[in-house]
Amino acid sequence: MNNPYIAGFFDGEGHVQLRRTGNSVVLTIAQRRPAVLEAIRDFLGYGAIYYRRNGNISLQISGRSNVWDFIDRVLPYTVVKRDELLVAQRRLEKVKVYKKRLPKTGD
């Protein structure tokens, strides 16, 4: 398992979801066989695997630091989903800047 392989797999089977609540980003890789998703999760060291009733299985990557790490790992090798990952990266960067500017509450 390596980053270029994961990037190619994500290009073919991946999805970038930009959520409105909290400006969060969720990355999903769908597949019918769990072995490859488990191998990807184990290699990355994060992610959750979900089993659907229709037989689909997905690896979800959420949480700002996990999504950021995933994008850093695969972006140099992606082709199809490159633009979507760049949009997600910009979204995460905006959230980072916004959180830095929030005033402190309480004394």
The torsion angles phi and psi of 57, rounded to 5 degrees, stand at -130, 140
Q: Supply the pLDDT for residue 93.
A: 82
Instruction: Please state the CATH superfamily assignment of the domain spanning residues 3-95 in this structure.
Output: Homing endonucleases (3.10.28.10)
- What does the alpha-carbon distance between residue 44 and residue 24 come to, in Å, rounded to a whole number? 20
Amino acid at the residue 16 = V
The torsion angles phi and psi of 19, rounded to 5 degrees, stand at -90, 145
Domain segments of the chain as ranges: 3-95
Question: Structure pTM?
Answer: 0.82
Closest of 67, 26, 64, 24 to residue 44, by C-alpha: 67
Q: Supply the pLDDT for residue 24.
A: 86
Give the pLDDT confidence of 5-41 residue by residue, as tens digits.
999 999 999 999 998 766 789 999 999 889 999 999 9
Give the pLDDT confidence of 35-89 residue by residue, as tens digits.
999 999 999 999 999 999 888 999 999 998 999 999 999 999 999 999 999 999 9
